[in-house]
Chain A
Amino acid sequence: MLTYIAQRLATGFVTLFGVAAIVFLVLRIIPGDAAVMLTGAGAGVVSEEDLAQVRHKLGLDRSIPVQFAEWAGDLASGNFGTSLRTGNPVWTDIVRRFPYTLEIVVIAMLLAVVLGVPAGVLAARFVGTWLDRAIQAFSIFGLAAPSFWIGLLLILGLVSLFSWSAPLYWEPFWVNPLGSLSQLIWPSIAVGLRQLALITRMTRSIMLEVLGEDYIRTARAKGLPERTVVFRHGLRNGLLPVVTLVGFEFAALFGSLIITETVFSVPGLGQYVVQSILNRDYPAAQGIVLVLAAIVVVGNLVVDLLYGWLDPRTRVQGAG
């Protein structure tokens, strides 16, 4: 098991390095360089000499391999560089914003699993009834609706029905758990809706299949109560594909998260990365993308481990 983890971690690092290189290169090709962005916001014509000087001060006029080597070296020592815009170390900005993003991800996944699995089970249990159809309709909608549209509608509804307005202070979880939850529940719903729908559908179809299996019939024949049949025997095996699905969708969830944070103006990593890319804040963009990719890689690893724990058959294979 340990070798498996070690292997996966090693693969993960290689992947991350690849990610870092890609990000670094791509950002340097983007038109509109950081020097002008920093000097230009709203000003009149800026002369080339001024720009060249700013570029020189920022070290942007050196060759790309040199810049990359320097950045990689800094990374190895834990230095993510300084944000060109805020002037803070990128790491500080990331650490400050990370809790909000993490909280949204956790709440969204929790909502998706805690609501989705039972919903799928219910739909399978009462297949063909109005309840099943209602749940299916809802999950079809949840899959099709774009998360930022849901976010916009949520905001509209909250503003017009409850005179809700966006929080002025976004409270971190450890300062005020309930307050923080009440603030972040809305973006989490927008982000998690699609996952909820997917998990519901998946659970339902798996349960339907599983409930027709032989061992279920055996359990029923043995006279076990339906609940035990469904949960202990059916669900355990049904969870496997759900876990795979979660892993598959983890990266997708971050995509929704990025745009939903922008819609709700949550000061999290998603909003930060969008702004950094659009603002050509190279160090920040590189740092955050790397962190996000790392989260996805780690998340996938966790999912794979869970999968291995749930299904001993897969533990034998070590290949990614």
Chain B
Amino acid sequence: MTRRFSRSRNGLTRRKVVHGAGALAVALAAPRFAFAQTPKRGGTLKISNGGDPPDFDLHQSATYLTEFIGAPCYSTLLRIDPNDYNKLVPDLAEKYDVSDDGKTITFHLRSGVTFHNGMPFTADDVVYSLDRIRQPPAGIVSPRKGLLGNVENVAAPDPLTVVVTLKQAQPDFPFLVSNPYNVIVPKQVARPLDASGQGMKRQIVGTGPFRLKTAVDGQLYEMERNDKYFGTPAYLDKLQFFPIKGEIERAVAIQGKRIDACFFFPNESVLATLRKNPNVKELRRPTPTFVNLIPNVTRKPFDDVRVRQALSLAIDRDAFVKTVGPLAGAYYHSRGLLLPDSPYSLSEAEVKQFAGYDTAPGLGGDIAANRKKAMELLEQAGVPKDFKISMLTRADVPAFRDSSINVAAQFKTIGLDATVDIRDPGAFYALENKGDFQLVAHSVALSGALPDQILGEGYTSYGGRNYGQWKDDAIDEMFRAQSRERDQAKRKELIHQFQLSFMKTFYQINLAWVGYGVGYGTQVKGWNALPDLYANMQLDMVWLDS
């Protein structure tokens, strides 16, 4: 994955401020899109999500239910180019510079921007927002705390400049800070709400192309175009989000033209019904979402690596992908810890050396032999026959629920008495957070596919996804080493080593990757499906052809 910002050829020795503006300047000058038709103005886009957002605070959330509602109303410093997933284009920051040593990033903000409530946008709001994410105030929770963990300080020398100082150089940083969840909130609104513990959960006050007008729990979330938006005004007049839990119902509503789009379809049979309709576009694309078996290593017998290996050996990943794929979108498999088609993927030979991973589609593993080996390992580790395992999981997301059901059934083949403890989200997170579980099949949905994002959040002890509570300083240090490495070739080798080192611990066991489907009527134009669930959801370039 290439990062397009130009750098001084003289490298680190010259104390020259390098302008990271190359690609950005190009992006600013070039037309934002090239359409065959001229976009029409006006209209209301009707979208369906699979339920109500638990709240509106994007900093505290990690579910698409909140992100889809918040994205059109907020802005980030930079955002992913809707036409090229590997590029960043300006949002609230017109351009940014990276210092020679890579430790200081200076963002130059747009002027004349106002929030939806009329307050002027300044650098203070950026400072507050970034600090809110990396050092959340009391009572505020920040899942992406670790993502900005390399930030030493954020300062605003003047109202239109923000200076971020990093602890060590981090080439991926601009992408990390542009995570769609890292929106800029108004300090004057957020600070008192944070102090009272409520946070930005009940209101949306942003700088985005749309403004939240009505929110009726269980029925409708309506947004109207922000005519004071700093960018090109959106084409649509209004957005309406309808929470519809059933996938069939959402599909039927699209076919009946009662809604225009749904950007979350896990189930294949539902997409198949949409496929038959010439007036509907549907597609499924891979996203940076992976299903991992996460054992609680503080509980016996999961502290024994042989037991974790046995768990991995028991799973026929080919059968898993074939079964859970149509139900949840878990169709893909990777070679290593990064995305299926990542340039950092391991070789087949390397992957096969890790117990159980050879049953991935196409790798020709022998599941019967694997399971036999698993039983031997369990015996060596002293795990009795019919040992009870309860797999904690979530009821409302197929990638959690159906993965767990399939895994539990597979565990029976190695003599484990596995049941699935399907809980509603409340109880699920309560137990998972307390560490009150044996084993979880967790579908980790990230936004962004960079090594720092995936490895940093999913595979370090301090990352936000260490539900299993493992601790390994060596691995953490390996992560930091690759994170600060600016030489591409050296970094690739470090990432390579990181993956090999982590995978042999089996602290987390990867099963498959998930791609989500979308479906929308042909009247919806201007929306591009990126290989990411959360990016490109501001919908400012979408228009209706009707």
Contact = CB atoms under 8 A, between A and B. Distances in A.
Interface string B96-119: 000000000000000000000000
B256 A50 contact: no
Contact of A166 (B54, B246, B430): B246
Contact of A165 (B54, B253, B469): B253
B75 interface: no
Contact of B219 (A32, A58, A169, A280): A169
Nearest to B195: A57
B220 interface: yes
Contact of B433 (A40, A88, A164, A271): A40
Contacts of B255: 163
A128 interface: no
Interface residues of B, number: 56
Interface string B187-217: 0000000001110011000000000000011
A3 interface: no
Nearest to A164: B252
B396 to A, nearest CB: 10
Interface residues of A, number: 45
B430 A39 contact: no
A31 B253 contact: no
B61 A42 contact: yes
B146 to A, nearest CB: 8
B466 to A, nearest CB: 6
Contact of B430 (A32, A54, A93, A163): A32
A279 B54 CA distance: 10
Contacts of A45: 433, 464-467, 469
Interface string B244-275: 11101100110110110000000000000000
A168 B61 CA distance: 26
A93 B252 CA distance: 29
Contacts of B256: 163, 165
Interface in A216-255: none
B137 to A, nearest CB: 9
Contact of B139 (A37, A53, A272): A53
Interface string B137-152: 0111101001000000
Nearest to B146: A44
Nearest to A266: B218
Interface string B463-487: 1111101000000000000000000
A176 B469 CA distance: 55
Contacts of A26: none
Query: Interface SS of chain B: helix, strand, loop or mixed?
Result: loop
Contact of A54 (B139, B216, B469): B139
Interface in B416-433: 423-433
B183 to A, nearest CB: 16
Interface in A163-179: 163-166, 168-170
Interface string A265-282: 101000110000011100
Contacts of A265: 218, 244-246, 249
Interface string A40-67: 1111111000110110111000000000
B141 A43 contact: yes
B63 A42 contact: yes
B139 A43 contact: no
A44 B463 contact: yes
Contacts of B465: 44-45
B429 A37 contact: yes
Contact of B249 (A40, A54, A166): A166
A169 B62 CA distance: 28
Contacts of B402: none
Contact of A43 (B46, B143, B198, B202): B143
Contacts of A165: 249, 252-253, 256, 258
B159 to A, nearest CB: 32
Contact of A280 (B202, B426, B432): B426
A103 interface: no
A88 B445 CA distance: 30
B141 A166 contact: no
Given A53-B197, A87-B55, A265-B246, 16 more contacts: A32-B428, A37-B430, A38-B54, A40-B432, A41-B62, A43-B429, A44-B467, A45-B466, A45-B469, A50-B136, A54-B139, A85-B54, A93-B217, A165-B253, A168-B220, A168-B244
15 contacts: A32-B427, A36-B429, A39-B60, A41-B63, A42-B61, A43-B143, A45-B464, A87-B201, A163-B252, A163-B255, A165-B249, A165-B258, A166-B253, A168-B220, A265-B245
Can you list the 5 inter-chain pairs with the closest CB atoms, starting with the nearest? A44-B464, A57-B197, A40-B429, A32-B430, A32-B427
